[in-house]
Structure 1
């Protein structure tokens, strides 16, 4: 499969499916943060690496979708497209997170008593505008109403950097930037003890090393034509990716994490983009890809409730049952939000902006 033929391919089904697998593992990882807080004991302690896979996949997809046409459509249209694609669920995630905070039936004290309406209002506004606000408490999350949104904030910044800088540079300079970003990520990971940075006020700035390295790696996979045609089955890719998340965690296992993030994830994308899915695999991958983003953005309010439930000491069995309910409910909520809110809103926005641009 040549790069030319790839340009005519509307979707990479295998990559869509892997994005869905990664999103599901994020939910599982967040449940296990309550079930087994010690990473060295958790069976899915490397689940946070799903975010690095998202970043790398995003770099590949953005380069594929816009490298050859951003000069034609213009940067303004690029930014509008990205906002239409990402921001409806940013707003919905904020609303759901706010309701979860205010209506949590297991909270020991009401959110208003604990934080006050002022801080809650500021946190809500900042969340909608994607402005970090690690001042509400809640473990210092930079987006306390919807914790996973931290990665979307970095995604917005790297998208801006792509349109202003990356789209204009050649392969040589891209390689230099990728090398600098990789060294930065190694240094950040060495200092922190692992790559799980960017989500809190204490390590927010370190997250830029994380998104830069992974996104640039994805861009490099596309620009260097590293798509590898093959006939591997989706199950192999899924097992390999899940193997990363289930890989045993050890203190300062920096080498393993760097191998996963810097080498393995780009390889998975290079091979996955070279595989054509058919039949039930294609349908499964399409479904997983469709729910991946709403699943990622709409599940965390239930994790806060799980944490409050755990504080009542209900027993491990009850916690596991409730975690299973969260996983199933998250998938159902993601699908419903996609079909009844996200897709209709994006369709309306796309038509509205197209009509406005044509009338100008």
Structure 2
């Protein structure tokens, strides 16, 4: 049982279920909800990279998500650029802005970094909300094109758009897996565990944190571009603190610093939210205590809980084996 709950098995199982989901249900509403959840998962993976694996909590992540979405919308609607060039440019623009802001942000540490990024996120929201001529402000940006055809492949139906987003989610999971298990990923963990110790073994902590921050903004920008072409309408609220709270809640519930955490947390909370729509106005009162309990009793979320359980069972088996040999 413990082996069954390792992160790789959970991720693989959820991937297979995701591929088969449109065959399980023919309800377009459920397909729409899960497609949107996949977009959030991509954004949460970016947040997990900087917060979970590097140990720096960025409260500007929703802002970078909005930059990616608005870059996609403005390039395609106002600049008249085709869908695919705009789709490729949107994450790059987000990454470039993230690089410039990261150079300044990462000169701060711990709670100062969190406060700085919180201010950056709010400034992004104000720019989107007040710069009417560019972003259309509170009126919203409309008319964003849906994914363009690739030869005979069309993305005009909910199912085809579902698989379009799923492709980028699977690509994100693969890239994230490779990053985490690479030397770069090890340096992220070294910085998270102890910056001073990381410096003593020759790790450039400033460069490592900047790489992690920039990569996180790339995934936020990618998720934002997918969000823009999926909903085809944007408003300033996508960069609000409420969205940032949602992303953070998905990560904490699923498991911060784990590979399967973003998937588990996002799908679980989206499912609960759909079942408790009549409590939408009181969701902060509902999820606030839940997050508090998880932080206290399982700081690494659901995925971390099963990981710890697996380690405890392994230790107990080793102790029993030693006792049998001693006897």
Task: Give yes or no for TM over 0.5.
Answer: no
After TM superposition, the score normalised by the length of structure 2 is: 0.32
After TM superposition, the score normalised by the length of structure 1 is: 0.29
